[in-house]
Amino acid sequence: MKGIYENYMKLEFASKSNNEAFARIAVAAFASQLDPSIEELADIKTAVSEAVTNCIIHGYEEKDGIVKIECMILANTISIEISDTGKGIEDIETAKEPLYTSKPDLERSGMGFTIMESFMDEMKVESVLGLGTKVTMKKMIKKEAKEESTYV
- Interior angle at CA 72, CA 67 and CA 78, nearest 5: 100
Question: Is 73 part of a structural domain of the chain?
Answer: yes
Distance, CA of 76 to CA of 12 (rounded, Å): 25
**Which residue is catalytic, options 108, 117, 126, 147?**
108
**Which residue is catalytic, options 20, 24, 40, 50?**
50
pLDDT digits (tens, 9 = 90+) for 68-104: 999 999 999 999 999 999 999 988 887 777 766 666 6
**Which residue is catalytic, options 20, 54, 70, 81?**
54
Question: Is 151 part of a structural domain of the chain?
Answer: no
The CATH number assigned to the domain holding 112 equals 3.30.565.10
Segments in the chain forming alpha helices (H)? 20-31, 38-54, 92-95, 112-119
pLDDT digits (tens, 9 = 90+) for 1-46: 456 889 999 999 999 999 999 999 999 999 999 999 999 999 999 9
Domain count, the chain: 1
Question: Is 149 part of a structural domain of the chain?
Answer: no
* pLDDT tops 50 at residue 146: no
- Interior angle at CA 123, CA 4 and CA 47, nearest 5: 105
Question: Is 2 part of a structural domain of the chain?
Answer: no
Question: Is 99 part of a structural domain of the chain?
Answer: yes
Known active-site residue 24:
no
Question: Is 150 part of a structural domain of the chain?
Answer: no
**Range of 39's domain?**
7-140
Question: Is 72 part of a structural domain of the chain?
Answer: yes
Known active-site residue 50:
yes
Known active-site residue 126:
no
